[in-house]
Amino acid sequence: MRIAGGSLRGRTLAAPSSDFLRPTQDAVREAVFSMLAAVVPGASFLDLYAGTGAVGLEALSRGAASVTWVEKAPRSLRLLEANVAACCGSPPPPGLRIVRADVRAWLRRADLPPGSVTVAYADPPYVEREGEDDGMSGLLAAVRDAGVLAPGAVFVAEQRARTPEPSCEGFATISARRYGRTAVTLLRFSAP
């Protein structure tokens, strides 16, 4: 696993040695960040279900001003912490933050400034079978209700292919694409 672009391009990241984690594939990450090229520089980036931290590190490499990673699984956290330390030093510099928490529980008490997040990325564990509801629409509502998104913020939903496309009041779909077994939907947030 490598960072695909920006100042950290080519940097190798620690990856899981077993199937306990499914990191976003390099090609998918590169395609998504090509779509986000205009919004990532200077962004306040929120990486939900961060896993190895590769998505947030890709955002940082491409000019994000700050990154918050949220992850609860201990093995994933170890990889995430190792990757952030290898790329950014330990402790991470100001603006980079690892939150050890369940995503939905954290969103209920999110401690980010209101309206501060300009790009959010969610890659929760895939459902067992294609076509199953993975709860992404509910996650969109939870992020909206947390009040952390800035008006016009972009939300990226990564899901298993053929999973119901997410929708939620306050969000409009910008793009929906499929990359093999992965579906990626970009949505824009409109503040009420």
DSSP code for 19: T
Give this prediction's pTM: 0.92
pLDDT confidence bin for 21, thresholds 50/70/90: low
pLDDT value, residue 144: 97
Q: What is the mean pLDDT of residues 124-148?
A: 88
Q: Is the pLDDT of residue 92 over 60?
A: yes
Q: Which amino acid appears at position 3 of this protein? A: I
* Both structure tokens of 71: 């992850």
- Identify which of 116, 114, 159, 119 has the alpha carbon closest to the alpha carbon of residue 138: 159
* Both structure tokens of 125: 């564990």
Going along the chain from its start, the domains and CATH numbers come out as 26-189 (3.40.50.150)
How high does pLDDT run on average in the chain?
A: 91
Q: What is the mean pLDDT of residues 111-120?
A: 96
**Residue whose tokens read 């590190």:** 57
CB-count exposure of residue 21 (10 Å: 0-12, 13-18, 19+) = middle
Cis omega before residue 91 (within 30°)? yes
CB-count exposure of residue 161 (10 Å: 0-12, 13-18, 19+) = middle
Pairing of strands 117-122, 44-48: parallel
3-state secondary structure of 171: strand
* Both structure tokens of 188: 């824009």
Out of 23-27, 72-76, 146-150, least confident range: 23-27
Q: What is the mean pLDDT of residues 112-129?
A: 90
Spatial strand order in the sheet of 171-179? 96-100, 66-71, 44-48, 117-122, 149-160, 182-189, 171-179
pLDDT value, residue 13: 87
